[in-house]
Structure 1
Amino acid sequence: MSDDNPHSSRGSASRSWLERIASIFTAEPQDISDLEDIISEASMRQLIDSDTKDMLQGVLDVSKVRARDIMVPRSQMATIDIEQPLAEILPILLENNHSRYPVVNEDKDHIEGILIVKDLLQYALDPNNNDWQWLDLVRPAVIIPESKRVDALLREFRQKRYHMAIVVDEYGGVSGLVTIEDILEQIVGEIEDEHDDAEEHDIKKMASRVFQVSALTPLDEFNETFGTQFDEEDADTIGGIVLHAFGHMPARGESIALGDLTFKVSKANSRRLMQLQVIRAREAEPEGS
């Protein structure tokens, strides 16, 4: 009968597909693998494209992720000191191009609040506003533990309409920060803005022995900067070298030592490395640095 009516087999397959979806949502799934199987089959049948599959998988993965897994590490936080005059703050804003900055008192363990650039510009560009101090614009900071689930944090971001949270460890010390963009990138992949291309291959010195390095930095540029001799036949970028050394796609926070350098993943998604923190061993530090 199916030979005489080719639509019959397709109709049967469609009913089977719909029945499987229905069974997932009407029954109580034992684990998330049931949903993952449905998503994989939908992609194989070309009912959804690969980008949609990755996004759906990202939604499922968010429930497994904690704030410590996606936070911007403390060493990479761009902050403003409460004692800085406005003239010193503006270059920081221009260099980093963020929309929000933690305001600290002496060090990063003492967060006084959050400065939103939009608030600052509103006052700075209004010629009628002469009697104001930038400290008056600082908003309270949201503090969360490292163990905070990211799906719960996203819900709070939406409900309470804030976009940044300061992450603290079990002793109350600041570990880093999380923004709503960090969470969305776990779902949809990297969100690039107009500044990303300009910064893509940067090697930025954060401290005497600590550097922020794009994973896409060409290997010859990295070797020249750090005096290393990674083989350019093994990879085109430093990210390729690090990925090969790990032997798997590392998550944020994972680290590995290669020679005198320690590489810590500071930004990554399920598909690629984006940013690395590179730390020189003390004995490898050049004289005078």
Structure 2
Amino acid sequence: MSEPSSPDAEPRPAKNSSKSLFRRLTAFMQPNEPVDREGIKAVLEAAHERHVLDAEAYAMISGALDVADQTVADIMVPRSKMDMLDIERPLAEILPEIIETGHSRFPVFEDDRDNIVGILLAKDLLLSINNPSIDLRPLVRPAVFIPETKRLNVLLHDFRVSRNHLAIVVDEHGGISGLVSMEDVLEQIVGEIEDEYDEDAEKTIFQTGTNSWRAMGITEIDVFNETFHTHLPNDDYDTLGGWLAAELGRIPRRGDSINYEGLNITVVGADAKRALWLHIQHNRAAPPAPLNSSD
């Protein structure tokens, strides 16, 4: 039988304890512990360089730190790009818009776009889709309004507590300035969250309506030109996102928009490094049929 350990004996640390990881992260750093966020980032960067943290873990932890410094104004969808529904319009008229945009939640306004009366969940229409004369008012849920200056880490906590997934952003004068979703905040930490458009790895352009498409930022310029009969230069850039960044002179942000050869190209998804998803809308009366928009 083994002898009982002495009460004065020092207990062995657990093999996979969190302290063990911390020691590995700090063993090769300065003798002083980090005292601010920049110091923590320096530890993380050194850990990544020494392969203690892989690229994905490093990006996620760095993103979590950055969220504490960001505000709603940094990532919100601006008012001009918001897809909203008029509560006075019959369901038969707005249903095509709901299907085309593919959103699960819509701000609903009455009389004026600044007068948002609530949020409509697309799933709430499922039981009523066979009744096109239904009144939308009973289906509209209360909207959450937040200021532009709200920090993202605080907003994420509020989303989790309230179980809301969408908030309307107001400026200092109380006017509508945009909207932000829980997914928008999470993407600042974990990167782009894949949706149903990511099922086919080979396709990068998807038709979403009679005259609109959704394109990935990694779409090759040659593919884009062939699809839309455009002439984007491909000498210095390989992808649609790279070309857009050069045109803007900076990293594209959600809501950025540019017109080119009859196309309106709007960023609908972006992270800190690049444009991820773009909405393509033809300004021409009769757009050409994309070559890779069908299966």
Contact 1:223 1:230 in 2 (8 A): yes
Query: TM-score scaled by structure 2?
Result: 0.70
Contact 1:165 1:179 in 2 (8 A): yes
| 1:99-138 aligned within 5 A | 99-121=104-126, 123-124=127-128, 133-138=135-140
| 1:15-164 aligned within 5 A | 17=26, 24=33, 29=35, 31-121=36-126, 123-124=127-128, 133-164=135-166
Contact 1:21 1:38 in 2 (8 A): no
Aligned to 2:186: 184
Query: Higher helix share goes to which structure?
Result: 1
Gap regions ≥5 residues in structure 1: 1-10
Aligned to 1:4: none
Aligned to 1:244: 246
- Distance in 2 between the 1:107 and 1:16 partners? 54
- Distance in 1 between the 2:223 and 2:276 partners? 17
Query: TM-score scaled by structure 1?
Result: 0.72
Aligned to 1:201: 205
Shift of 1:264: 7.0
- Go from structure 1 to structure 2 and tell me whether the alpha carbon gap of 1:287 and 1:181 turns closer, same or farther (over 3 Å shift): closer
- Go from structure 1 to structure 2 and tell me whether the alpha carbon gap of 1:124 and 1:267 turns closer, same or farther (over 3 Å shift): same
Question: Is the partner of 2:196 in helix, strand or coil?
Answer: coil
Q: Percent of counterpart pairs with the same letter?
A: 43
Q: Deviations over 1:110-166 (max 9, x none)?
A: 211001123332x437x9x9x973310211111112222111111111111111001
Tell me the amino acid that sits aligned with residue 182 of structure 1.
D
- Distance in 2 between the 1:182 and 1:88 partners? 29
Q: What is the count of residue pairs matched by the alignment?
A: 263
Question: Is the partner of 2:106 in helix, strand or coil?
Answer: strand
Tell me the amino acid that sits aligned with residue 148 of structure 1.
K
Aligned to 2:275: 273
Contact 1:69 1:253 in 2 (8 A): no
Tell me the amino acid that sits aligned with residue 51 of structure 2.
Q
Shift of 1:258: 8.9
Contact 1:203 1:214 in 2 (8 A): no
Q: What is the RMSD of the two structures over their aligned residues, measured on CA atoms?
A: 4.2
- Distance in 1 between the 2:266 and 2:96 partners? 28
- Distance in 2 between the 1:116 and 1:247 partners? 37
**Farther off after superposition, 178-187 or 83-92:** 83-92
Gap regions ≥5 residues in structure 2: 1-19, 288-295
- Distance in 1 between the 2:261 and 2:134 partners? 53
Contact 1:201 1:218 in 2 (8 A): no
Question: Is the partner of 1:232 in helix, strand or coil?
Answer: coil
